[in-house]
Amino acid sequence: MKKWQFWVGVLISAVFLWWSLHTLKPVDLWQAIINANYWWIIPGVAVYFVAVWVRAWRWHYLLRPIKHIRTRIMFPITCIGYMGNNIYPARAGEILRAVVLKRREGVPISASLATIIVERIFDGVVMLAFVFFNLTQLANLAQVAIPVGKWQITIQDVAVWGSVAFFGALLVFLLSAMVPKTTAKIGQMFIDHFLPARIREQSSGIMHRFLDGLESLRSPFSILMVFFTSVIIWLLETFKYWLVMHAFPFHVSFFVLMLINGVVNLATTIPAAPAYLGTFDAPAIAILTAEKVSQSVASAYTLVLHFALWFPITVLGAWYMAREGIKWSDSLRTEVEEPKGPKQPEGTA
């Protein structure tokens, strides 16, 4: 909390929350919250955990070229990672689950982080597909803009810049996976010319292990499998949005909920306070009010949905983390460090 990045994230969250809620009367919001039918949250949470299980299977699939690990082992580690994302800033849960995987299965952290970044890239591509699949609804949101300082961020801005970022990253990762030797040579040239001599050997080792983590992308079939699995994951999460919607007195189409899911998850890439406060809520409320849902109901639905997405996985992840024997006061720095030097080929001394 002493780092300036944390407080910048808090400020950004405060701006987004103020923009979406400042004209709302607290009594209206409270009435919408207490009148909701919360029985719908139960099947919504159940569907979400099915999606988490599919996420664990996808991670297992990406790691297969490195080590075959059963999905039932990956599921608790996945929960720990999402718990970390919900509590720590800057998606530190991704590092956390890579550390736990190294503890349990001995997978190098740089290799597992490569697979995690691949997951995030495919998630981003699917989110963009959800947005562009609903171009009609997107056209209706031309006037929806979120003020950030002197700038106005529109839904279209999120879609355009998200496209550049995620499709650009996907192209780089695919090329790196297809020509690993060339990528390694370019990376080694960069290391030798721009990094201090004292960290070159370790950096080279990390680079080679990172490229090992991209091996699953060398097969077109694997790429299709990861993309298909990512679509299933996000359709299941949208189904949760649909179930929670029934707790409130409004109705929008499943396609609008797909658009909301896509936009809010792209918006959560903006630095913010832990749990994506504000960056999740403001776009969802803006889209729903543009769809003629009252601001009080739209705000209540979004806040309840956000809590239903955040709380169950955080509690389960914390329980798994305690079972692993990892304490909040632990320093994980030594576990993040990798052995120095590039990976030695099999059969060599």
Return the closest-CA partner of residue 67 out of 215, 258, 264, 188: 215
Do the domain assignments include residue 306? yes
The pLDDT tens digits of the residues spanning 52-91 come to 999 999 999 999 888 999 999 999 999 999 999 998 877 7
What is the extent of the structural domain holding 199?
Answer: 40-328
Q: Quote the CA–CA distance of 244 and 277 in Å, as a whole number.
A: 19
347 pLDDT higher than 70: no
Do the domain assignments include residue 59? yes
Do the domain assignments include residue 320? yes
The pLDDT tens digits of the residues spanning 268-312 come to 888 888 888 888 998 899 889 988 999 999 999 999 999 999 999
Task: Assign 174 a pLDDT band (cuts: 50, 70, 90).
Answer: confident
* Backbone angles phi and psi of 232, in degrees to 5: -60, -45
Q: Quote the CA–CA distance of 347 and 185 in Å, as a whole number.
A: 23
Do the domain assignments include residue 20? no
Question: Structure tokens of 49?
Answer: 């955990």
Do the domain assignments include residue 118? yes
This prediction's pTM: 0.82
Do the domain assignments include residue 26? no
CB 286 within 8 A of CB 146: yes
Do the domain assignments include residue 148? yes
**Residue type present at position 169:** A
Which residues, listed in sequence order, are joined to residue 148 by a DSSP beta bridge? 151
CB 231 within 8 A of CB 126: yes
Q: How many CB atoms lie within 10 A of CB 200?
A: 16
CB 114 within 8 A of CB 346: no
Q: How many domains does the chain have?
A: 1
Do the domain assignments include residue 310? yes
